[in-house]
């Protein structure tokens, strides 16, 4: 009989320890360590190959760039590792490195590191960030000076140099571990284990599925004064779970909360809401072959005026705004007012388009909320609004990775997508032009609208600020009138933190600079 | 005499079976009539968003301001008929294949049974998920995917029964009398298969509903704005605080699956009061 | 939601045990090839083109890059060649590179599989404990009210949609009551223990990290609870039936006649006698658990096989899908083979043949 009792006792012991463990895990109070929850988009921790938001956030903490943005202000780049001057044509930019800055292994940052790092991105055609260096030539002037030059005026170049993909790497260390400046580069594996930068943090561990752990860079001698010496960036794909974790003090920062969730947050949580730089838009294909009736410009117009934008905006919540054009607010050339619903115009355009009641398929990625806006409810509401205007829509959601292929290849007739800048400059929205990358995805070729092509090139090649602003807003205006895109929403970015954390500043590329988070 | 068909043996009437049958019949009734009497259009986005359950909206509203009660009731008409159709389809195909394998034996049996082995070498949801993803997400394809994984259990059970009967004297006698294989299967064997297969099928309705709603939960089944229970629960993930969005569709699935399981379990007692080992597993 | 037990299994009365097992082994290996063909075929049926997804929109617009990528991964070869390459690689432990994570599938899976097996094993242990207790109770009290209650309880367990239960319990125990820990395998403040088995609980104990152990255990609670409900229902039914059969057997009657009762009789005679059918169903329940994890892991952000399977399937990650299919197929076939083996060894009818 004794044996039996032992079993029972063991069973009780197990139950008790389960219960105890449950209690113990409820509130780990952390002082110099914080947890950031975000839905991962992370493929590499090699900054030169990264092109996705979580990767940018990580790179920003581990590495530094030539230039930077102060806080949330993305209008004018400020000095980073270097200061710069440019010539009047905006074709030659001279960068002078700051004295005395070192990498995490203590070695000094020199012009060679800059040349290597930039040429590495320029040379790795496989890298998704490769395009950032298109048309830029890098020349070493002396140990502390580097010259970047372009063929045509390039007022966007300083903003480009803030992009964490163009981070300055410790060239000696990277070369030692397989780094080169072309596609033979083999340093990615090394950089996925160890960071080789000068940022306030170093890479502790990384798991692309679950979490990235950052530790303090003991040799950091820049301006940031970090309060949190251990940062865990955790993959929590559901925003709802992020919210629970934050409210339960399981995490201290939640990056992807939706407007609805922010509205129902419990006390003791800080929220930083601001319009993001993302634009969610409808794409209406102009290729007859792909889209059939959608290729009629009147059809795009019918859709444009059939929608009730405030009702769509209702789904996006805190911080979001109606998209007034392809250029989001706060960017150069953004329009003041968006389209207002006008069912008469919509009906007339629909009549003119030759639409005959056929069902049109609306495709969208269903697992990729942008700024907390899930595309499924948005698509359902678009469907319902268009139904009221006499357009029959069938929804065809698919995961992002499945859907993006047909989007990129321009084979979607009617779809919901989003566009965010790769760096903070309105030149990022010129791909919407006829014959350009995004334009072609909508089957919109250069021949179809040469006026728009000219407007885009005027904006691209402007050499001074005023001329540039006018050119961009003309471009945006033209697209609002006859482009194959219907911009819907600029979702809010809602970063929520535990009450004792301060210093959140949203950036459209790297979301936020972790080093700027401070304990109150 | 006229009402003889209504006479149900007393042994058939168990409390569990009756409760199950009543709930199941109620749900099937709802499935086919809901569109006629629900208070709101299940697709209309007219109500205030994320409204808690109350007098106007019994089960609250979802993120688009649609009435959840109306969606839930019409949702029965989406899932239940498809699940029934799926079971009938699997039953017919599976039974036929199993009968062929069992009756002809030898390489036919070997081939068909290895085929079922192959299907069964995967957990159902994983295989169904891959098939649904490969075919492209839609409710129809989800049914196909679910069919792919559910026919083998019928085939296996039929085969084992046929195998046992094939050498029975009366079956042999029939064959000696010159019955064709299909006549033998139909006349001498089929009546023995019906009972166990019916038990299996009634239990399988529940499994089918769980599988279809599970696929829809993963986004591989019903597409928006279809009011399907699994996808309604999946929408609840986006709105955790509005607990009513996910709670009620789950309860709907639970009650309807439970009802069919109660019925199936009671039927099993009737058809086979001694051994339950061989069949109960088939519902897993 | 698994498969039929092989209770309908037919044993050849003529072949000796070894021959029988060899034949089973041969069939298993053949089936394994079948599994790779099925997964390969399914993965290639997927309509979309995963390359743009893997490369990103920037690089995918560059034809040279796309071509280089296709060449590098051998995606330009005819399908039979690709399949042959895949099988060839398998023998060297190479399952290809995931298009989604850009990591070797083998290394992805080596992280995901232990995470899932840890849940599944614990769930099996819990289900077995509860199932045996409830099933025996029901059998002993056959026809009484407690038998009926157990029956209703187990049928409800079989009827609960696991994904919904996961959501509801996560919401209730974590968000409302705050007694359960959040998602994932460990609280983020803790580092995973040094990898030995891949089970965080075991590894933490081996490393003597008590805090990590309790934390890992706490994180296992909810997923295990949710997954167990179904298998408890399943096992309870089977245990009841098996125990009932054994209770009628002569040797148990003899034991009873000798005056044995209670635990002695239950453990010494009844459960020993019923162990074979129970064993079978445990093996199969393991398969249903693997199915369940697909639906549950998403809710708990559990980085296991289920999440990996779902992510691979929906992002058209061919090598990933094939890897999961292979691993799951191997697990299934191994369990079936092991069950057969045990049958052969334990069941006198097979042994004497």
Q: DSSP string of A268-291?
A: SEEEEEEE-S-EEEEEE---HHHH
Q: Tokens 């809401």 appear where? A: A273
CB-CB neighbors (< 8 A) of A24 in chain C: 211, 214-215, 218
Measure the CA–CA gap between A438 and A485, rounded to whole angstroms.
10
Does B140 contact A at CB distance below 8 Å? no
Which chains touch A (3+ CB pairs under 8 A)? B, C
Q: Which residues of C22-53 are buried (b: 16+ CB within 10 A; e: fewer)?
A: eebeebbeebbebbbebbbebbeebebbbbbb
Measure the CA–CA gap between A287 and A267, rounded to whole angstroms.
52
pLDDT at residue C204 greater than cutoff 80: yes
Question: Which residues make Cβ contacts (< 8 Å) with residue C206, sequence separation at least 6?
Answer: C193, C194, C196, C197
Is B236 buried (19+), middle (13-18) or exposed (0-12) by CB count in 10 A? buried
CB-CB neighbors (< 8 A) of C234 in chain B: 280-281, 284
Q: Tokens 């209702």 appear where? A: A314
Question: Which residues make Cβ contacts (< 8 Å) with residue A29, sequence separation at least 6?
Answer: A249
**Residue of A260, A265, A397 best to disrupt the B interface, most CBs of B under 10 A:** A260
Length of chain B: 284
What mean pLDDT do residues A208-231 have? 91
Do B265 and C295 count as a contact with CB atoms less than 8 A apart?
no
User: Which chain B residue lies closest to A258 (C-alpha atoms)?
Assistant: B238
Q: Tokens 């069939």 appear where? A: C27
pLDDT at residue C262 greater than cutoff 70: no
Per-residue H/E/C for A428-473: HHHHHCCCCHHHHHCCCCHHHHHHHHHHHHHHHHCCCHHHHHHHHH
Whose CA is closest to A386, among A290, A490, A287, A311?
A: A311
Q: What is the pTM of this model?
A: 0.81
Dihedral sign, CA of A234, A237, A243, A245? negative
Query: What secondary structure letter does DSSP report for B3?
Result: T
Q: Which two tokens stand for residue C169?
A: 């319990």
Parts of chain B with a pLDDT under 70:
1-13, 272-284
Please write the tens of the pLDDT for every residue from C306-348. Answer: 888 888 877 777 788 888 888 888 887 888 788 777 776 666 5
What's residue B275's pLDDT? 40
Contact between A468 and A462 under an 8 Å Cβ cutoff? The reply is yes
Chain center to CA of B245:
24
Report the CATH superfamily, name and number, of domain B18-276.
MetI-like (1.10.3720.10)
Provide the Cα torsion A16, A21, A22, A24; round to 10°: 130
CB pairs under 8 A between A and C: 143
User: Which residues of chain A from 399 to 458 reach within 8 Å of chain B, CB to CB?
Assistant: 399
Question: Which residues make Cβ contacts (< 8 Å) with residue B167, sequence separation at least 6?
Answer: none
**Residue of B27, B109, B116, B123 best to disrupt the C interface, most CBs of C under 10 A:** B123
Please write the tens of the pLDDT for every residue from A473-520. Answer: 999 999 999 899 999 999 988 899 999 999 899 998 899 999 999 988
What is the ipTM for the molecules in this complex? 0.87
Sort residue A3 into left (φ over 0), alpha (ψ -120 to 50) or beta: alpha
**Residue of B50, B64, B243 best to disrupt the A interface, most CBs of A under 10 A:** B64
What's residue B9's pLDDT? 62
- Within 10 Å of residue A189's Cβ, how many Cβ atoms? 11
Q: What residue segments make up the domains of chain B, in order of their start?
A: 18-276
CB-CB neighbors (< 8 A) of C174 in chain A: 244, 248
Give the closest-approach CA distance of A18 to chain C in angstroms: 6
Please write the tens of the pLDDT for every residue from C101-154. Answer: 777 888 889 888 999 989 998 999 999 999 999 998 998 888 888 998 999 999
CB-CB neighbors (< 8 A) of C61 in chain A: 408, 437
Whose CA is closest to B282, among B100, B111, B94?
A: B94
Does C320 contact B at CB distance below 8 Å? no
């Amino acid at each position: 009989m004794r044996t039996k009792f032992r079993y029972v006792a063991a069973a009780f012991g197990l139950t008790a320890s389960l219960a105890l463990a449950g209690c113990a895990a409820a509130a780990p109070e952390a002082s110099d360590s914080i947890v950031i929850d975000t839905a991962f988009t992370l493929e590499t921790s090699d900054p030169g190959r990264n092109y996705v938001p979580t990767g940018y956030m990580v790179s920003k903490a581990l590495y530094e760039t030539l230039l930077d943005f102060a806080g949330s202000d993305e209008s004018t780049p400020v000095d980073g590792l270097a200061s710069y001057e440019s010539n009047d044509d905006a074709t030659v930019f001279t960068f002078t490195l700051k004295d005395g800055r070192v990498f995490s292994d203590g070695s000094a940052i020199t012009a060679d590191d800059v040349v290597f790092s930039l040429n590495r991105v320029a040379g790795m055609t496989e890298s998704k960030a490769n395009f950032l260096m298109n048309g830029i030539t890098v020349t070493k002037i002396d140990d502390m000076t580097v010259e970047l030059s372009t063929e045509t005026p390039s007022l966007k170049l300083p903003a480009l140099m803030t992009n964490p993909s163009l981070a300055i790497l410790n060239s000696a260390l990277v070369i030692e571990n397989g780094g080169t400046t072309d596609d033979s580069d083999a340093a990615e594996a090394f950089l996925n284990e160890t960071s080789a930068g000068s940022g306030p943090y170093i890479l502790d561990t990384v798991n692309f599925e679950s979490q990235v752990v950052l530790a303090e860079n003991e040799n950091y001698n820049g301006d940031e004064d970090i309060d949190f010496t251990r940062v865990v960036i955790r993959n929590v794909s559901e925003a709802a779970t992020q919210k629970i974790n934050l409210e339960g003090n399981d995490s201290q920062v939640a990056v992807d909360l939706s407007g609805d969730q922010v509205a129902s947050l419990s006390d003791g949580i800080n929220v930083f809401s601001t319009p993001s730089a993302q634009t969610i838009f409808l794409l209406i294909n102009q290729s007859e072959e792909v889209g059939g009736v959608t290729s009629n410009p009147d059809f795009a117009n019918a859709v444009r005026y059939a929608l009730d934008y405030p009702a769509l905006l209702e789904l996006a919540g805190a911080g979001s705004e109606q998209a007034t054009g392809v250029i989001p607010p706060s960017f150069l050339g953004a329009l003041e007012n968006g389209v207002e619903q006008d069912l008469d115009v919509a009906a007339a355009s629909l009549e003119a388009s030759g639409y005959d009641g056929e069902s049109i398929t609306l495709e969208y990625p269903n697992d990729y909320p942008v700024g907390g806006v899930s595309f499924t409810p948005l698509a359902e509401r678009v469907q319902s609004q268009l139904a009221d205007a006499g357009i029959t829509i069938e929804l065809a959601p698919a995961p992002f990775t499945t859907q993006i292929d047909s989007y990129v290849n321009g084979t979607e007739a009617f779809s919901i997508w989003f566009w965010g800048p790769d760096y903070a400059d309105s030149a990022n929205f010129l791909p919407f032009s006829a014959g350009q990358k995004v334009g072609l995805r909508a089957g919109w070729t250069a021949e179809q609208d040469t006026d728009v092509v000219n407007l885009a090139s005027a904006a691209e090649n402007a050499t001074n600020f005023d001329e540039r602003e006018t050119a961009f807003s003309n471009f945006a205006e033209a697209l609002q009138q006859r482009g194959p895109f219907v911009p819907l929403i600029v979702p809010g970015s809602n970063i929520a933190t535990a009450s004792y954390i301060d210093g959140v500043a949203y950036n459209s590329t790297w979301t936020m600079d972790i080093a700027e988070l401070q304990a109150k | 005499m006229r009402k003889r068909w209504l006479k149900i043996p007393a042994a058939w009437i168990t409390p569990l079976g009756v409760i199950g049958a009543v709930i199941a019949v109620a749900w099937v009734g709802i499935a086919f009539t809901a569109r006629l009497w629900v208070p709101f259009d299940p697709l209309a986005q007219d109500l205030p968003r994320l409204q808690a359950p109350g007098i106007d909206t019994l089960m609250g509203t979802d993120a688009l301001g649609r009435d959840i009660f109306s969606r839930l009731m019409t949702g029965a008409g989406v899932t239940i008929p498809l699940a029934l159709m799926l079971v009938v389809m699997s039953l017919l195909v599976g039974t036929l294949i199993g009968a062929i394998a069992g009756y002809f034996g030898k390489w036919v049996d070997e081939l068909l049974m290895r085929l079922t082995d192959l299907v069964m070498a995967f957990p159902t949801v994983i295989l169904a998920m891959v098939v649904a993803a490969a075919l492209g997400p839609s409710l129809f394809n989800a049914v196909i995917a679910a069919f792919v994984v559910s026919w083998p259990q019928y085939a296996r059970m039929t085969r084992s029964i046929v195998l046992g009967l094939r050498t029975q004297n009366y079956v042999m006698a029939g064959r000696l009398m010159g019955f064709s294989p299909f006549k033998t299967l139909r006349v001498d064997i089929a009546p023995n298969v019906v009972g166990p297969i019916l038990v299996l099928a009634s239990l399988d309705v529940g499994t089918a509903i769980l599988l279809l709603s599970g696929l829809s939960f993963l986004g591989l089944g019903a597409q928006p704005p279809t009011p399907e229970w699994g996808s309604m629960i999946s929408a609840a993930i986006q709105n955790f605080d509005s607990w009513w969005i996910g709670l009620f569709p789950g309860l709907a699935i639970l009650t309807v699956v439970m009802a069919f399981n109660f019925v199936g379990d009671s039927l099993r007692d009737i058809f086979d009061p001694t051994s339950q080992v061989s069949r109960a597993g088939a519902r897993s | 939601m698994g498969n039929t037990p092989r209770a309908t299994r037919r044993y050849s009365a003529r072949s000796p045990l070894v021959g029988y097992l060899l034949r089973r082994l041969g069939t298993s290996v053949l089936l394994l090839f079948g599994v790779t063909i099925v997964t390969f075929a399914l993965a290639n049926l997927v309509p979309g083109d995963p390359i743009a997804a893997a490369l990103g929109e920037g690089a995918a617009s560059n034809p040279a890059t796309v071509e280089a990528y296709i060449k590098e991964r051998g995606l330009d070869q005819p399908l039979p060649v690709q399949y042959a390459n895949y099988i060839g690689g398998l023998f060297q432990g190479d399952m290809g590179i995931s298009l989604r994570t850009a990591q070797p599938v083998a290394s992805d899976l080596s992280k995901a599989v232990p995470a899932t097996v840890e849940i599944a094993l614990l769930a099996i242990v819990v289900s077995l404990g509860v199932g045996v207790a409830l099933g025996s109770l029901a059998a002993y009290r056959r026809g009484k009210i407690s038998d009926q209650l157990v029956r209703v309880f187990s049928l409800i367990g079989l009827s609960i949609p696991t994904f919904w239960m996961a959501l509801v319990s996560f919401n209730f125990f974590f968000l409302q009551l705050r007694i359960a820990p959040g998602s994932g395998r460990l609280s983020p403040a803790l580092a995973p223990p040094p990898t030995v088995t891949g089970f965080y609980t075991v590894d933490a104990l081996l490393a003597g990290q008590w805090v990590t152990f309790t934390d890992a255990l706490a994180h296992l609670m909810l997923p295990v609870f949710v997954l167990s409900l179904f298998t408890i229902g399943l096992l309870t039914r089977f245990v009841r039936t098996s125990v009932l059969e054994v209770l009628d057997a002569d040797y148990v009657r003899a034991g009873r006649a000798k005056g044995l009762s209670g635990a002695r009789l239950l453990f010494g005679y009844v459960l020993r006698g019923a162990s074979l059918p129970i064993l079978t169903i445990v093996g199969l329940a393991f398969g249903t658990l693997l199915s369940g994890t697909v639906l549950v892991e998403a809710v708990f952000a559990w980085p296991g096989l289920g999440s990996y399977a779902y992510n691979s399937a929906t992002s058209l990650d061919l090598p990933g899908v094939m890897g999961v299919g292979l691993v799951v197929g191997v697990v299934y076939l191994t369990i079936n083979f092991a069950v057969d083996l045990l049958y052969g060894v334990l069941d006198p009818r097979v042994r004497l043949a």
